[in-house]
Amino acid sequence: CMTRNYTFNIVQHNVTRLCHTKSIVSINGRFPGPRIVAREGDQLLVKVVNHVSNNITIHWHGIRQIRSGWADGPAYVTQCPIQTEQTYTYNFTITGQRGTLFWHAHISWMRATLYGPIIILPKRNESYPFRKPYKEVPIIFGEWWNADPEAVINQALQTGGGPNVSDAYTINGFPGPLYNCSSKDTFRLKVKPGKTYMLRLINAAMNDELFFSIANHTVIIVEADAVYIKPFQTDVVMITPGQTTNVLLKTKPYYPNATFLMAARPYFTGQGTFDNSTVAGILEYEHPLNHTFNTKKMVFKPTLPPLNATTLVANFTRKFRSLNNPNFTASVPQTVDKQFYFTLGLGSSPCPKNTTCQGPNGTKFAASVNNVSFALPTTALLQAYISKKSNGVYTTDFPTNPPSPFNYTGTPPNNTLVSNATRLVALPFNTSVELVLQDTSILGAENHPLHLHGFNFFVVGQGFGNYNPTQDPANFNLVDPVERNTFGVPAGGWVAIRFLADNPGVWFMHCHFDVHTSWGLRMAWIVMDGPLPSQKLPPPPSDLPEC
Ligand code: C2O
């Protein structure tokens, strides 16, 4: 194992997309940002120096941060922001993980331009549980706004309405040939015939789940969120924001006289404004020198599912199963110490006096968990917790259940019950948690790709309609459930997850649609220290930013 040093200088940088040049916040003048490459067991030291006027934090999405919670990154949860001309060095060791993850800014909507891949190779003497691919290629999906994304979300929050949608989806920063004024801004993947490529798919988009497909090619999914799964073949991949998926692409054994588009566009279950445009990249075969064809090169486009292909998505997500091999994967907790039932809802809260709000019926959009719309404090929760200064910052009475029982066929919960508060759950070390996440589908049935910091969780059950606590647990998968850090709670449905609270710290959990997070669909867990020295969170680093 070794220590790997990176320096992230946060600087303004001019980028042109869709014939529109603007100055974006970037890492080292690159968009998307640099790749982090490491091996399992390596220590990473990433020195972040902020040269822009925005406050910044960086999150290492999916990295478990075992006993290194100070390096997790969500603003006002584990740290105060890195202010202009300040520096903070994120220091963590990658323990028990290998595969694809990503890093992104974790404050306001700064992650719209600040993101990049994390590639964790297996330890030197270890191999993949499949044949080593000929080449590995990160494919990172994003969203591009011609406007400043910070202005977009700030305007929405001030007026209580919904933010404008982005102008394009991107693959490795490029919108591709299907958008106006964009054909030269296309990601191209040149391949050799008869080889296996591993594509490391990352959805870093702000607000959209995406379907991805490559014309005339199928792929084999081998890994999800840096955990190996039982391989399966598919034409179409669905990937939610916050998820990563490694797929194997076997190229054709000959030189096709064609180029193939690889394309992505949203999976969307709600109503209202959305962007259903398509990003495309190009897969092309490297022809040997002097090779010519007599006929015109064909262009093939993939067929992507319809926007609201919910049955397809449900069938797809159920195919993910843990490899269930003790050499590579952990096993699901068989017993449960504490159960929680959380309703996830879009709703609204009253419009402040002397303001005109653009939300439903003149209210302000608010999103909530158990009708609590989580308010971020102005200091960091982890610092407040460790220094025993929770007073006036947060309480540990986050409701275990919604205030009134939820029922699809009955009266939906009352939106006026949405309260703004900073309420947390405190868990003793090593608590085995079972959490049922129920979508309430108020104000538009939208999926919620829920992301948990600091842990992977096992998806033991899922379904549509109401979760039934007396019947559904009998069908839980306690043998080979998929282990992930982000999973879509289906619109009008539920998901049951389990995780072992074996990592002391304060851990954020939120919808990875940034618009829903901004509206309050977020909360945090405190995991207390265990009795042994190896079960305690070390004290904060000396360069930890102050608020
Ligand atoms: Cu990828 Cu809390 O985020």
Dihedral sign computed on CA atoms, order 458, 463, 464, 470: negative
d(Cα 280, Cα 183) in Å, to the nearest integer?
A: 10
CA distance 365 to 288: 57
| pLDDT tens per residue, range 176-195 | 999 999 999 999 999 999 99
Q: Is 111 in the pocket of ligand 1 (CB under 6 A)?
A: no
pTM above 0.95, yes or no: yes
Which residues is 21 bridged to in the sheet?
A: 16
Whole-number Å distance, alpha carbon 513 to ligand 1 midpoint, is 10
Q: Is the CB of 60 within 6 Å of ligand 1?
A: no
**Backbone angles phi and psi of 347, in degrees to 5:** -160, -155
Residue 329 in this model has a pLDDT that exceeds 80: yes
Quick check: 521 and 342 in contact, CB under 8 A? no
Ligand 1 atom having least distance to the Cα of 111: 1
- Please report the beta strands in 440-541, taking only residues with DSSP state E, as ranges in sequence order: 448-452, 457-464, 483-484, 486-489, 493-501, 505-511, 522-527
* 398 three-class SS: coil
What pLDDT is stored for residue 414 in this prediction? 56
What per-residue confidence (pLDDT) applies to 444? Answer: 62
- Measured from the Cα of 517, ligand 1's closest atom is 2
Q: Which fold has domain 338-535?
A: Immunoglobulin-like (2.60.40)
Question: Is pLDDT of 226 > 90?
Answer: yes
Quick one: which of 57, 161, 273, 27 has its CA closest to 518?
161
Within 253-366, residue ranges assigned H as helices are 310-318
522 Cβ closer than 6 Å to some ligand 1 atom? no
Mean pLDDT estimate for the chain: 94
- At the topology level, CATH places domain 1-126 in Immunoglobulin-like (2.60.40)
> For atom 1 of ligand 1, which residue has the closest CA?
61
Looking at residue 99, its pLDDT comes to 98
Q: Report residue 233 as tokens.
A: 């073949």
Q: Which contacts of 6-9 are long-range, i.e. CB under 8 A and separated by 24 or more positions?
A: 6/34, 6/36, 6/44, 6/45, 6/46, 6/47, 7/46, 7/47, 7/49, 8/33, 8/34, 8/46, 8/47, 8/48, 8/49, 8/58, 9/49, 9/51
For ligand 1, is residue 104 a contact (CB within 6 Å)? yes
The residues of the chain that CATH labels 2.60.40.420 are 1-126, 128-325, 338-535
Q: Is the CB of 128 under 6 A from ligand 1?
A: no
How far apart are alpha carbons 488 and 514 in whole angstroms?
Answer: 14
**Which residues touch 371 (CB under 8 Å, ≥6 apart)?**
343, 345, 347, 399, 402, 403, 413, 417, 418, 419
Residue 520: which residues within 8 A CB-CB, separation 6 or more? 366, 367, 368, 372, 373, 374, 375, 418, 420
Q: Which residues of 3-24 are buried (b: 16+ CB within 10 A; e: fewer)?
A: eeebebebbebebebeeeebeb
Q: Ligand 1 within 6 A of 453 CB? A: yes
pLDDT band at 492 (very low <50, low <70, confident <90, very high): confident
pLDDT digits (tens, 9 = 90+) for 435-469: 999 998 765 678 899 999 999 999 999 999 999 99
Interval 408-430: pLDDT, tens: 665 655 555 688 999 999 999 99
pLDDT at 29 over 90: yes
Predicted pLDDT at 345: 84
Average pLDDT (146-155) is: 94
Per-residue model confidence (pLDDT) at position 418: 82
Task: Give the pLDDT of residue 495.
Answer: 98
- 30 - beta bridge partners? 27
Instruction: Report how far ligand 1's centroid is from the alpha carbon of 514 (Å).
Output: 9
Is the shortest distance between the CB of 74 and ligand 1 below 6 Å? yes
- Ligand 1 atom showing the smallest separation from residue 74 Cα: 2
pLDDT of residue 409: 64
Q: Which of 279, 286, 330 is nearest to 302 (CA)?
A: 279
What is the number of residues in the chain? 547
How many angstroms separate the first and last alpha carbons of the chain?
35
Q: Distances from the Cα of 111 to the Cαs of 4, 50, 63, 259, 317, in angstroms?
A: 23, 15, 17, 32, 26
- In tens, the pLDDT along 49-65 reads 999 999 999 999 999 99
CATH topology for the 128-325 domain: Immunoglobulin-like (2.60.40)
pLDDT of residue 407: 74
Structure tokens at 516: 């829903």
Three-state DSSP class for residue 88:
strand
508 close to ligand 1 (CB < 6 Angstrom) = yes
User: What's the gap in Å between 503 CA and the centre of ligand 1?
Assistant: 17
DSSP-assigned letters across all residues of 235-282: SEEEE-TT-EEEEEEEPPSS--SEEEEEEEEEE--S-S------EEEE
Cα 59 to ligand 1 centroid, rounded to whole Å: 7
CA of residue 123 to ligand 1 center, whole Å: 26
Would you say the CB of residue 516 lies under 6 angstroms from ligand 1?
A: no
- Whether the CB of 133 sits within 6 Å of ligand 1: no
**Whose C-alpha lies nearest to ligand 1, atom 3?**
61
Determine contact, residues 512/450, Cβ cutoff 8 Å: yes
ipTM of the complex: 0.99
CA 511 to ligand 1 center in whole angstroms? 8
411 C-alpha to ligand 1 centroid (Å)? 33
pLDDT score for 489: 96
Q: Residue 265: CB within 6 Å of ligand 1?
A: no
Confidence of residue 290 (pLDDT cuts 50, 70, 90): low
Lowest mean pLDDT segment, chosen from 194-203, 264-273, 534-543: 264-273
Taking the centre of ligand 1 as the mean of its atom positions, its distance from the CA of residue 512, in whole angstroms, is 6
Tokens 């591709």 map to which residue?
A: 176
